[in-house]
Structure 1
Amino acid sequence: MKASEVFIGIAAHKEYQMPNNSIYYPIHVGSYNKELIGGYLSDAEGDNISKHNANFCELTATYYIWKNVNADYKGLVHYRRHFTSKKSHSDYIKGKFSEVLDEKKLLTLLEDYDVILPTKRKYFIETLYSHYKHSHEIMPLDQTRIIIEEIYPMYLDSFDKIMIRRSAHMFNMFIMKHEYFNTYCEWLFSILFELQNTIDISKYDEQEARVFGYISELLLDVWLEENKVRYKEIPVMFMEQQNWFIKGKNFLMNKFGNKSAEKISL
Structure 2
Amino acid sequence: MSDIKLCIACHKPCDVPKSDIYLPVQAGSALHDPIPGFTPDNSGDNISDQNPMFSELTVVYWAWKNLPCDYFGLVHYRRYFTMKSKSYQKNREELESVLTKEELEPMLKQYQVLVPKKRHYYIETIYSHYAHTFDGKQLNLTKEILQKKYPEYVESFDRVMNQRSGYMFNMFIMNKKLADQYCEWLFDILFTLVKEYSADGLSGFEMRYPGRISERLFNVWLDYQVRSDVLDPNEIHEVPYMYFGQIDWKRKITSFLAAKLFHKKYTKSF
TM-score bucket (shorter structure): over 0.9
Residue 255 in 1 paired to residue 260 in 2? yes
Q: Select which of 52, 55, 79 maps to 1:81.
A: 79
Segments of structure 2 that go 5 or more residues without pairing to the other structure are none
Asked if the contact 1:74/1:177 (under 8 Å) is kept, the reply is yes
SS in structure 1 at match of 2:262: coil
Asked if the contact 2:9/2:24 (under 8 Å) is kept, the reply is yes
Give the fraction of aligned pairs with identical amino acids, expressed as a percent. 42
Amino acid at match of 2:125: T
Aligned to 1:119: 117
Cα drift, residue 249 of structure 1: 1.2
Q: Select which of 10, 13, 25 maps to 1:12.
A: 10
Cα drift, residue 69 of structure 1: 0.4
Cα drift, residue 93 of structure 1: 6.9
Q: Distance in 2 between matches of 1:68 and 1:117?
A: 23
Segments of structure 1 that go 5 or more residues without pairing to the other structure are none
Q: Select which of 208, 211, 214 maps to 1:210.
A: 208
Q: Distance in 2 between matches of 1:198 and 1:85?
A: 41
Asked if the contact 1:135/1:264 (under 8 Å) is kept, the reply is no
Q: Select which of 236, 243, 248 maps to 1:238.
A: 243
Aligned to 1:196: 194
Equivalent runs, 1:4-153 vs 2, <5 Å: 5-86=3-84, 88-89=85-86, 96-153=94-151
Amino acid at match of 1:199: Y
Asked if the contact 2:27/2:56 (under 8 Å) is kept, the reply is yes
Higher helix share: 2
1:226-246, Cα deviation, whole Å (9 max, x unpaired)? 011321101110011222112
1:138-164, Cα deviation, whole Å (9 max, x unpaired)? 111100000001110000000000000
Asked if the contact 1:250/1:264 (under 8 Å) is kept, the reply is no
Cα drift, residue 132 of structure 1: 0.1
Q: Distance in 2 between matches of 1:188 and 1:158?
A: 14
Cα drift, residue 63 of structure 1: 0.2
Q: Distance in 2 between matches of 1:242 and 1:17?
A: 20
SS in structure 1 at match of 2:30: coil
Asked if the contact 2:133/2:265 (under 8 Å) is kept, the reply is no
Asked if the contact 1:10/1:78 (under 8 Å) is kept, the reply is yes
With structure 2 as the length reference, what TM-score do the two structures score? 0.92
With structure 1 as the length reference, what TM-score do the two structures score? 0.94
SS in structure 2 at match of 1:256: helix
Aligned residues: 261
Amino acid at match of 2:260: K
SS in structure 1 at match of 2:105: helix
Cα drift, residue 262 of structure 1: 3.4
Amino acid at match of 2:96: S
Aligned to 1:220: 218
Could you say what the CA RMSD is over the residues aligned between the two structures, in angstroms?
A: 1.8
